[in-house]
Chains A and B, each alone.
Chain A
């Protein structure tokens, strides 16, 4: 038989791991909650049944998009059964949703996940007893260890086939009599099996349900008043308390906990340090510095594995280019074909692939931080910072996702309920250094700063600062005004990464990097080589007389105050970065490769260092980290912002902010390194600082209004 089975549970309780185990899919599992924002489907292995993975939710209230997706699916699509996955290590919190799901009347099985952890703690759960009290079958499983999965599949099919409905636990008499009255009032208006759920929602004054049955709640006022008088509380609080009372009762009767260390678990003890008010941010900075040091450092203390391997690979590509060039000459290959092969393809693609070892090390470290659960702590620490500046901590999850790739980062802003927060976050996610920007960071750090980890730290801090500045400034505009949405985040316990999931995540990122080099970077490099080798009359010319030089010459003056406008190559590289940020490297690899030949073999990256200088290099990095992202990310922004007008505003805003901050960085680094940055840059720097300071400290008319409103309502 084929059934439709819904998989529902709290965020980060192992739902995706169970989905993968049941369907054989390989969905990426994240060790932080709240990023599954829509349902996904798969077929349960060995059956014809369809499994629908619903977003992780805490309750069936209609307060967030995730809750609406889950609730609407169960009500409207009427699955044959529900698998409610429950974190056995945190039953008190998880069973709240379970009780609400039971009220929906759909045949259901509770999958008691993380039973391996329970055993590890020395705890015991009376599964049979819990099942009896909840009125639904309870199956102990470990999604990560894949134990109890077959039994779960068998049970859920049994329940779906026999249409066994849950027997809901009963609450206090006054609640039950109000529910019974509400059910009576709803008779014939809703399906019988869902009546208890609708009754509860009607009593809780759920706006969606109350709106569907206008006037019905008024007919229940006598019962509601009686209950409210008895408990001296509002009806929704009485119901929530009633549920929690039952949960406490069930847990105390069925769970036997082994004595715990008074200082808490190891996770608790680590969290006390890494999420501490004073140490949280310095630890985050130190962790990022360490990651970049492992990947890039090449200085007095030695050479990191990443820098060593990258140096070797770059040399190899250099030799490959020379050998191919020599072979072409020996075989009488046409000069333009030789140029295309050596400067265009090997120069461009090789420049990007040369950073592969560093990328592998960075990906390993960043995936490891995600998998063990550290990144969730970063979100927690940043929530405090964000809230201080009037932004929602919920915005930091998309920013974390955006450190891998801006596109899913922009997409995951859908989890933010507040329209203004959502729009601001979608506009600012790409300020964070995504995977494509990592080789650019590595290039600047390697060519100009001996692979200093501080360049990596600077990139992340810059991204966060740009987001905070944008949040404060944009909130002063009417269309972005509003109070930040509350952010509740549960910290998942630290755990060792699952090897398969870990290596797959690293491999996927590395493979995406290589594939991109072999496709879009390859095509871009060929185009750049063509434009840099021919004039408008399609005659092969020196690079200085090429079409690209003409294009670069037309735009380079814009970037002069940023310290890299004197050389048109950097302006052109910035433009080609719009196709893909790795193109910055490929473009410079091609262009400086062409110059390298004319200069009798000077190292490509040392040309970069001589041309840019420290101040120009940091300004170049700053601009390219903050300016408009690649076209694909702009497309994602358009999908989230809704109109091209808003998207155009976002791109213009990003470019202007990038320009303002780059000038400041140029002058500041120039002062630190003793480089002359020119009068124009100084003047612009002062104007930019004044402009940003004004925008930051100018009165926020809408925030004041919000406060007034709040006070009035109190």
Chain B
């Protein structure tokens, strides 16, 4: 395997780790992968649905 291949493998591995970490983080916070399920995050068309189990968006105070 040449150095270009190695660099590509490293880059792909990094992307995979980042994507997986993001999903795991979302799962731990109770957010669903589509960005929904957290009313306070406004990520979906859920209008003003707001539920206690949803994640909270930081308020700008």
Contact = CB atoms under 8 A, between A and B. Distances in A.
A405 B37 CA distance: 9
Nearest to B21: A519
B18 to A, nearest CB: 8
Contacts of B46: 28, 35, 401, 404-405, 407-409, 411-412
A435 B33 CA distance: 13
Contact of B44 (A23, A334, A407, A639): A407
A403 B47 CA distance: 11
A366 interface: yes
A526 B16 contact: yes
A520 B59 CA distance: 28
Q: Is the interface of A mostly helix, strand, loop or mixed?
A: helix
B45 A632 contact: no
B7 to A, nearest CB: 10
A334 B61 CA distance: 53
Interface centre among B5, B23, B52 (most CB of A within 10 A): B5
Contact of A405 (B2, B12, B23, B34): B34
B14 interface: no
A332 B34 contact: no
A359 interface: no
Contact of B49 (A35, A328, A504, A580): A35
Contacts of A68: none
B48 A36 contact: yes
Q: Is the interface of B mostly helix, strand, loop or mixed?
A: loop
Interface in A455-483: none
A508 B47 contact: no
Contact of A632 (B2, B36, B51): B36
Contacts of A334: 1, 5
A337 interface: yes
Interface centre among A340, A436, A512, A635 (most CB of B within 10 A): A512
Contacts of A621: none
A345 B4 CA distance: 18
A406 to B, nearest CB: 8
Q: Give chain B's interface residue range (CB within 8 Å of chain A).
A: 35 or more
Interface in B4-50: 4-5, 8-9, 12, 15-16, 19-20, 22-23, 32-37, 39-40, 42-50
A43 B45 CA distance: 24
Contacts of B43: 405, 508-509, 511-512
Interface in A202-224: none
B48 A35 contact: yes
Given A36-B49, A45-B61, A508-B43, A516 B33 contact: yes
Contact of B4 (A332, A401, A403, A412): A332
A368 interface: no
Given A407-B34, A407-B37, A512-B34, A401 B61 contact: no
Interface string A339-376: 01100010000000000000000000011001000000
A400 B31 CA distance: 21
Given A340-B12, A408-B39, A515-B35, A523 B48 contact: no
A28 B47 contact: yes
A332 B1 CA distance: 9
Interface in A397-456: 401, 403-405, 407-409, 411-412, 435-436
Given A523-B16, A630-B34, A632-B36, A366 B45 contact: yes
B48 A407 contact: no
Nearest to A44: B61
A340 B39 CA distance: 36
Given A340-B12, A630-B34, A37 B44 contact: no
A632 B5 contact: no
B48 A26 contact: no
Contacts of B53: 639
Contacts of A516: 33-35
Nearest to A15: B48
B37 A411 contact: yes
A43 B40 contact: no
B42 A632 contact: no
Interface in A316-346: 328, 331-334, 337, 340-341, 345
B32 A411 contact: no
Contact of A16 (B23, B48, B51, B52): B48
A594 interface: no
Contacts of A367: 45
Contacts of B39: 27-28, 40, 408, 411
A519 B33 contact: yes
A19 B49 CA distance: 14
Interface centre among B5, B43, B50 (most CB of A within 10 A): B50
Contacts of B59: 23-25, 42-43
Contacts of B35: 508, 511-512, 515-516
Contacts of B44: 404-405, 407-408, 435, 508-509, 512
B15 to A, nearest CB: 7
Interface of B: 1-2, 4-5, 8-9, 12, 15-16, 19-20, 22-23, 32-37, 39-40, 42-53, 57, 59-61
Interface of A: 16, 23-30, 32, 35-40, 42-43, 45-46, 53, 328, 331-334, 337, 340-341, 345, 366-367, 370, 401, 403-405, 407-409, 411-412, 435-436, 504-505, 508-509, 511-512, 515-516, 518-520, 522-523, 526, 580, 630, 632, 635-636, 639
16 contacts: A25-B57, A25-B59, A28-B39, A39-B50, A331-B4, A337-B8, A370-B45, A401-B46, A405-B45, A407-B36, A407-B46, A412-B47, A509-B45, A512-B43, A512-B44, A526-B16
Given A27-B39, A337-B5, A411-B39, 19 more contacts: A23-B61, A25-B59, A28-B48, A42-B59, A333-B5, A334-B1, A367-B45, A404-B36, A404-B44, A405-B44, A411-B46, A412-B46, A435-B34, A435-B44, A504-B42, A505-B45, A508-B35, A508-B43, A520-B23
10 closest Cβ pairs, A-B complex:
A404-B45, A30-B47, A408-B46, A512-B35, A632-B32, A405-B44, A405-B36, A40-B50, A407-B36, A28-B42
